[in-house]
């Protein structure tokens, strides 16, 4: 039996999400695609976005083929123009925005000594702007509509360092701080803001040449397996639902216990 077959399948249902409108960014693959699919299975209506037009549209088309309501808009959300394009399309298609999921990010980074101006901009500045721009537009709309939910997809890298990813980790730390500040400022308007911080997360298909490396990495995870996109998606759905109505300003680590431990297995101090 493969590692994927050993992975429990998430089957959570959040009936109160049905009919609500959401924007989900960074949906061309991986966690973003998993979130979009999971929310549509809850009955939500979506506008999705990514820089990769072909891959993003393919994900949206697959959701529509399963009966979901999903409009894809290609855009670079690190720019004001891109953020406005997606926001306007969502208002036109959905009528109102009840949920914003900020998942889009540049994943490439570099060790600090190699973090030149361009790499810094891509891995830090642009990543934070992909949260700031869409959130500002959505927050003003949610204030007018009487409330809503914003969920930022962070990373364990916002709390613990990845070697060689200085800009990316710094952007996620900034995102966590922004999540808390937004939560405090927007709470009086009935808007909840939280973040989901994934650990090691795999797509459904693991290339054979990656199998040994993945197995080695999972040895350091207390639950003994890597996460899947639907694990992150279920956390997003929970935080978006009325079941989480008293939760705001929190960073939820969905990492199999990775950040909980002081040292990896087999190392004692």
Best CA proximity match to 192, nearest among 132, 115, 135, 131 = 135
Any idea of the CA torsion for 236, 240, 246, 251, to the nearest 10 degrees? Answer: 30
Evaluate the CA torsion angle 52, 161, 23, 126 in order and state its sign: negative
Residue 214 is given by DSSP the state: H
- What is the rounded distance in angstroms from the CA atom of residue 260 to the CA atom of residue 258? 6
- What is the rounded distance in angstroms from the CA atom of residue 13 to the CA atom of residue 87? 27
Q: Which residue is catalytic, options 132, 168, 253, 268?
A: 168
Q: Quick check: is 132 catalytic?
A: no
Evaluate the CA torsion angle 88, 94, 99, 103 in order and state its sign: negative
Q: Which two tokens stand for residue 200?
A: 């090691």
Q: Which two tokens stand for residue 243?
A: 């079941």
* Helix, coil or strand: residue 8: coil
- What is the rounded distance in angstroms from the CA atom of residue 213 to the CA atom of residue 220? 12
Instruction: Report the catalytic residues.
Output: 168
């Amino acid at each position: 039996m493969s590692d994927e077959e050993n992975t429990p399948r998430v089957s959570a249902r959040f009936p109160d999400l049905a009919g609500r409108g959401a924007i989900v960014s960074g949906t061309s693959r991986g966690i973003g695609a998993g979130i979009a699919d999971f929310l549509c299975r809850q009955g939500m209506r979506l506008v999705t976005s990514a820089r990769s037009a072909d891959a993003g549209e393919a994900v949206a088309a697959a959701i529509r083929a399963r009966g979901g309501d999903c409009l894809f808009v290609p855009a670079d959300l690190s720019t004001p123009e891109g953020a406005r394009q997606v926001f306007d399309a969502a208002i036109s298609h959905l009528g109102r925005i009840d949920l914003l999921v900020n998942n889009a990010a540049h994943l490439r980074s570099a060790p600090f000594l190699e973090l030149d101006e361009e790499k810094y901009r891509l891995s830090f500045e642009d990543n934070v702007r992909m949260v700031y721009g869409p959130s500002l537009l959505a927050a003003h709309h949610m204030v007018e509509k009487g409330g809503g939910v914003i969920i930022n997809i962070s990373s364990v890298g916002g709390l613990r360092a990845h070697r060689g990813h200085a800009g990316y980790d710094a952007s996620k730390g900034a995102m966590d701080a922004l999540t808390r500040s937004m939560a405090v400022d927007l709470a009086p308007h009935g808007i909840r803001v939280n973040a989901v911080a994934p650990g090691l997360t795999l797509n459904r298909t693991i290339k054979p040449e990656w199998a040994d490396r993945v197995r080695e990495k999972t040895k350091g995870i207390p639950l003994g397996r890597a996460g899947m996109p639907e694990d992150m998606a279920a956390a997003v759905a929970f935080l978006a639902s009325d079941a989480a109505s008293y939760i705001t300003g929190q960073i939820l680590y969905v990492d199999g216990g990775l950040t909980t431990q002081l040292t990896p297995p087999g190392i004692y101090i």
